[in-house]
Amino acid sequence: MESTMNQKEKENKGKEAKIHVLKLFWKMMTYKPGLYLINCILWALIHVEPLILGLIFKQFFNILNHNRTFTFDLIGIVAITLAYAAGRMINIYSGARIDTRHRFIMSALLRRNMFEGILKKPGASSIPCSSGEALNCFRDDVETIENSISWTLDIIGNIMFVIVALVIMLSINVNITLLVFTPLVLVVGIVQLLSSKLKKYRTDAREATGMVTGAMGEIFGAVQAIKVAGEEDNVIQYLNVLNKKRHKMMLKDTLLSQTLDSIFYNTVSLGTGFILLLAAGLMKNGDMTIGDLSLFIYYLSFISDFTSFFGWFIANNRQAKVSFSRIAKFVKNGLPEETVKHNPVPLNPKGLMEEEDLSVDTDKISNLERIEVNNLGYCYEASENGIHDVSFHMEKDSFTVITGRIGSGKSTLLKALIGLLPPQSGSIKWNGESIDKPEEFFVAPHCAYTPQIPNLISDSVKNNILFGLSEKSVDLEEAIHSAVLEQDLKGFDDGLDTLIGPKGMKLSGGQIQRVAVARMFVRNPQLMVFDDISSALDVETENKLWSRLFEKRKATCLVVSNRRSALKQADQIIVMKDGRIYAKGKLEDLLESCDEMQAIWGG
């Protein structure tokens, strides 16, 4: 076990070492190069403009130093200063607007690629961590990278300012100018020394936060079960343990960040004070004018801020490396390059409609006539449980029931067929054409799936059924009737607009399943897949559901069930045992020849 863990740790370190932050930043900069360039020019001007004001101050104090009265020179300086202030306000306003848009696009690109990675992975393994940690990646890690990209503009502008300021200050006094940059060297050295701790503390803090938020999400979704079991105290104690760990990790991360902030500030302040003392001595000897001193003092404040900011920029880049490695877990093959892949990010509803279509082109696939499954296999990690060499076929408008005892592989077969689990062997054919990516193909309008425990969201009944579809484009009333849900809706306070709470907690188990079935019906799929949905339904309701299904529509159904009402409807029954097909056929024939079917029917 230890060797396995050590191997995983080495693999993780290897992946992190391969992350080249600057290359990833460049990829993001070139996503919208025109926007980034405009943003860069605006912020470069914002940072460089103070050079002009410093020269104005120098001229102003030099005029005063010569005991001049109020002249046209001073009027000109005042006019130039006012024009400078007006221009700078316009520049800052424009820069803020452009930067806000650019920031939003950068964060949207990262989140879009994460979502695509999640949606393209098999459903059973789409999120490689807890939901809490995933949310932290979408929020905190994306924000860290967004800040780093935006701060590159400030670094570029500040460097331009420093270069020009350096030339001007060197022309005044070489020794003092060189001392100005001593704090910068110290700051960079401090950050380099603490870089490993910066990454470690940030990683630990994010993981601990993810564990807390994930646990809270699970607790909120299982309140009723916790209360029934009387485990409130144990749950609170468990949450306290996680919070204490998070507090410890966050404290380390925050303490190091605040310590760095203090070091940066005080290093710069001490250096600035020392420089001013030297300048005072030069003024006393007449080697520096009041105008020169005012220029130094004015530029020093900007250079001091740049020194502190440069330290923070380097530190944040170390933390961005951690963020990239965490986000990479959600994208294709876990490659950091995929996190910044150039994909369309529409910023308005029209753009959303025009975005790249990731679904299968329905025009290229003919309407369902026959599905063939040949030697399909899938085994769970670290065990031989799963399915092995499963082969069968289904004709159009047929009703196929998969039955078997607990653990026989019924649900695994469904999930492997429609891509919720990645098939490890075998093939699936639709009208004779191989389906290479079942997870992308077996979606509406080709297929719809209702699991044994459906996923509902904290919204109205109507929105849970439509789930993004337009009410005008579907027959909502007919879908509700077919799902045997109309009587339940009459008992709800707000009918279809009734809010059902997280995971449908305000509904009974049977109501949850029938809302999910209505969601399936409203999409009119060619293949409908049910995973033991009748487990929470009484016999009468189940009979109504099946009879209404075939009353008003032709449908090809693949159903997992051990209930007699479903077995009686079946055109074909597949009996599973130990992950393999034990028998196939009609109900009457199986009851005569198959002992496993006899046991299921008798049970």
- What phi, psi does 86 have (nearest 5°)? -65, -45
pLDDT in tens, 220-254: 767 767 777 788 888 888 888 888 988 888 888 88
Contacts of 156 (CB under 8 A, 6+ apart): 40, 43, 44
In whole angstroms, how far apart are CA 78 and each of 57, 71, 74, 534?
10, 11, 6, 83
Q: What pLDDT does residue 8 have?
A: 41
Task: List, in sequence order, every beta strand (DSSP E) within 435-521.
Answer: 447-450
* Same domain as 129, residue 60: yes
Asked if the structure places residue 293 within a domain, the reply is yes
Which secondary structure element, helix H or strand E, spans residue 123, and what is its range? none
**What's the rounded Cα separation, in Å, for the pair 498 and 477?**
16
Asked if the structure places residue 357 within a domain, the reply is no
* Same domain as 416, residue 281: no
Q: Which of 318, 348, 378 is the last residue of a domain?
A: 348
Q: For residue 586, give the CATH number of its domain.
A: 3.40.50.300
Q: Per the structure, how many domains does the chain have?
A: 2
Whether this model's pTM surpasses 0.75: no
Query: Between helices 33-48 and 72-120, what is the axis angle to 10°?
Result: 150
Given the DSSP bridges, would you call strands 580-585 and 433-434 parallel, antiparallel or unpaired? unpaired
Tell me the residue range of the domain where 310 lies. Answer: 9-348
Q: What pLDDT does residue 277 have?
A: 77
Q: Which of 348, 382, 408 is the last residue of a domain?
A: 348
**Of 128, 257, 265, residue with least CA distance to 187:** 265
* Same domain as 453, residue 385: yes
Report DSSP state, residue 139: I
pLDDT in tens, 30-82: 999 999 999 999 999 998 988 888 888 888 877 776 655 555 577 778 888 88
Q: What pLDDT does residue 55 have?
A: 85
Angle ∠(375,377,378) on CA atoms, nearest 5: 175
* Same domain as 402, residue 338: no
**What's the rounded Cα separation, in Å, for the pair 397 and 547?**
14
Given the DSSP bridges, would you call strands 447-450 and 527-531 parallel, antiparallel or unpaired? parallel
Residue in this structure with the two tokens 């396995």, named with its chain if needed: 4
pLDDT in tens, 540-556: 888 888 888 877 667 79
Alpha-helix runs per DSSP H in 471-508: 476-482, 486-491
Q: Hey, what are 280's tokens?
A: 């005072």
**What's the rounded Cα separation, in Å, for the pair 291 and 64?**
9
List of the chain residues with pLDDT < 50: 1-17, 351-364
Asked if the structure places residue 1 within a domain, the reply is no
Q: For residue 36, give the CATH number of its domain.
A: 1.20.1560.10
* Same domain as 377, residue 268: no
Q: What pLDDT does residue 101 have?
A: 92
Q: What pLDDT does residue 503 have?
A: 77
Its sign, for the CA torsion 27, 311, 51, 97, is positive
Amino acid identity, position 274? F
CB 399 within 8 A of CB 430: no
Asked if the structure places residue 354 within a domain, the reply is no
Contacts of 238 (CB under 8 A, 6+ apart): 215
Q: Which of 313, 348, 383 is the last residue of a domain?
A: 348
Asked if the structure places residue 389 within a domain, the reply is yes
